[in-house]
Amino acid sequence: MGKLNLKLYTIKKASESQIDDCIQLVVVDLDKGKRYPLNFVCVLPRYFRVLEKRSSKFAKIFGEGSLHTAKKLLVDAQRHEDDPQIKTVISKRIKDIDSQQCTQKQ
């Protein structure tokens, strides 16, 4: 797979009870198109343990570098995000990846 111009795109649904359930993060390729859903690549998994099992489309696309790619996308999105609810969700996912990486190193 060639070099992709990836970015996270946030979909925020109203009226959901749990904040984590109302915010979905999807990966888009800006070289495919400037507008979602034309540039859709895949959904960023909510739980990163699925990446180890390669059971998500994200893991199948990015393979061994899945956790690294996910963290890079999340950190970049966190820098550019203004919505506090979305920032909270992004922070939780970064912490999840960090704990996953610590577990793998042990």
Give the start-to-end residue ranges of the domains of the chain.
6-105
HEC letters along 1-56: CCCCCEEEEEEECCCCCCHHHHEEEEEEECCCCCCCCCCEEEECCCCCHHHHHCCC
How much is the pLDDT for 38? 92
How much is the pLDDT for 82? 95
Tokens of residue 27, six digits: 């990966």
pTM: 0.86
3-state secondary structure of 83: coil
Q: What is the pLDDT along the chain (106 residues), one digit of tens a residue?
A: 567 899 999 998 876 566 667 899 999 999 999 899 999 999 998 887 766 667 789 988 998 888 999 999 999 999 999 999 999 999 999 999 998 777 666 5
